[in-house]
Amino acid sequence: MADFFATAQTKAAPSGRVAYVNARLFDPESGRDEGGALLTDGRQIVDLGPRLFNEGVPEGTEVVDCGGFLLAPGLVDMHVHFREPGHEHKETLATGSRAAAAGGVTTVACMPNTEPPIDDVALVHFIERRARDTAIVKVHPIAAITRGLRGEEIAEMGMLKEAGALAFSDDGLPVYNSRVMRRALSYSTTFDALIVQHAEDPQLSSCGCMNESETATRLGLPGIPNASEVVIVERDIRLVEITGARYHVAHISTAEAVDAVRRAKARGLRVSAEAAPHHFTLNETAVGDYRTFAKMAPPLRSEADRQAVLEGLKDGTIDAIATDHAPHDQDSKRLPFAHAANGIVGLETLLPLALELVHARHMSLREVLATVTIRPARLLGLECGRLAKGAPADLTVIDPDRSWQVDRDRFQSKSKNSPFDGRAVRGLALRTVVGGCTVFRRDG
């Protein structure tokens, strides 16, 4: 049987009362992990607990039987590229949101490196309108730090934030000019805005296209040194020190940068970081014989770096897991390695790859789910990411043990560029609920 997907229109219609019964209520924020039920009314969670509906579900309430599986807050992915406007042949808010729903993700923050880039209030409104009209999960824009992502003049952060931008980033590119970065951090404090840095020194990366290492040397590919990431992170931390800004390192990939963030946190600075699943599940050897599906920025690093990212997740240095979902069509990837586009799709593999950390006993289920729910939600200032009375009715039903094999041909995303194709994984979203409405149900 085909899986069910709602449309943006059905999602928009107000839902009535829905009872989720026979659930394992799992809330990473409170630590709640118990059998019970949950009630939503319209777009909110109104009640939950082990004894709810012990007397039966009242007449007129829709009942969803969770089959004893995990009922958790819908996942929050704070770093995706949905390519709209400008590159709709790679992804749109519609297709990207279906990929999110199929992956158990209810909220995404999309990066502004579109064409044109999201650096103006009108463009924030465009994303919000397209999200409302075409997307089946919550799509929030992150706006550019600098106009046109050029790294020169800061964008209208205050007005962009008022319009709905959750955070600011020139992702894809770093803010390289130290003076501009200092001003951006400084200015952002007025609005308590989060500044998300793509930490890469373009001069050090130069024309590099994979991790600088023996593998790169053997393949004859120019390398990107670890220093390329950490010199920017270290510089930015110095600037956070003098500005007091909220600073977030996107897709952290090196041991050195993880350590820099750890030390900054210890000094009480408002510094956070996210890691992408590929940076804690793969290392540079995945490039193999020039596999362009293993090409991304920052690149897959050494095994020691992979371990360091894992450590950073375990000790809380890294706050969130975010996919850096970067769809590319086949023509952008079927090229000599140096010319192939950077990035991989990630929304439909996020949950099982994150759960590998649980299955491998690196982290508890609560710790792992916190990195994809409450922690990114808090960084972005969102109310979601938790199971609590009054919280948004954004939920996902998860079978954390279900074994399956990644098959890119079954991806909802318009693009199929995944190095995880064929990987045996465990953990699957069975149902995704956004604002009280089931937007995805796995029937197959």
Partner 1 sequence: MSGRVSAEPQPFVFPHRHLLGIEGLSRDDIALLLDLAESYIALNRRAEKKLDVLRGRTLINMFFESSTRTRTSFELAGKRLGADVINMSTSSSSIKKGETLIDTALTLNAMQPDVLVVRHPDSGAVRLLSNHVECAIINGGDGSHEHPTQALLDALVIRRHRGRLAGLLIAICGDIMHSRVARSNIHLLTIMGARVRLVAPPTLLPAAIERMGVEVHHDMHRGLADADIVMMLRLQTERMQGSFVPSAREYFHFYGLTYEKLAVAKPDALIMHPGPMNRGVEIDSVVADDITRSVILEQVELGVAVRQACLEVLARNLPGIGHNR
The residue (of 190 and 330) whose beta carbon lies closer to partner 1 is 330
d(CA 104, CA 219): 38
Closest approach of partner 1 to the CB of residue 214, in Å: 4
The residue (of 220 and 390) whose beta carbon lies closer to partner 1 is 220
The residue (of 46 and 335) whose beta carbon lies closer to partner 1 is 335
Q: In the numeric block, which tokens belong to residue 254?
A: 């090196």
Closest approach of partner 1 to the CB of residue 213, in Å: 6
The residue (of 181 and 221) whose beta carbon lies closer to partner 1 is 221
The residue (of 292 and 412) whose beta carbon lies closer to partner 1 is 292
Closest approach of partner 1 to the CB of residue 338, in Å: 5
Closest approach of partner 1 to the CB of residue 331, in Å: 7
Binding site for partner 1 (CB under 8 A): 212-214, 216-223, 225, 289-290, 331, 334-339
The residue (of 46 and 338) whose beta carbon lies closer to partner 1 is 338
Q: Please state the three-class secondary structure of the chain as a single string.
A: CCCEECCHHHHHCCCCEEEEEEEEEEECCCCEEEEEEEEEECCEEEEEECCCCCCCCCCCCEEEECCCCEEEECEEEEEECCCCCCCCCCCCHHHHHHHHHHCCEEEEEECCCCCCCCCCHHHHHHHHHHHHHHCCCEEEECECCEHHHCCCCECCHHHHHHHCCCCEECCCCCCCCHHHHHHHHHHHHHHCCEEEECCCCHHHHCCCCEECCHHHHHHCCCEECCHHHHHHHHHHHHHHHHHCCEEEECCCCCHHHHHHHHHHHHCCCCEEEEECHHHHHCCHHHHCCCCHHHCCCCCCCCHHHHHHHHHHHHCCCCCEECCCECCCCHHHHCCCHHHCCCCCCCCCCHHHHHHHHHHCCCCCHHHHHHHCCHHHHHHHCCCCCCCCCCCECCEEEEEEEEEEECCHHHCCCCCCCCCCCCCEEEEEEEEEEECCEEEEECCC
The residue (of 103 and 223) whose beta carbon lies closer to partner 1 is 223
d(CA 216, CA 261): 27
Catalytic residues: 324
Residues shown for the chain: 444
Closest approach of partner 1 to the CB of residue 230, in Å: 16
Closest approach of partner 1 to the CB of residue 35, in Å: 52
Closest approach of partner 1 to the CB of residue 285, in Å: 13
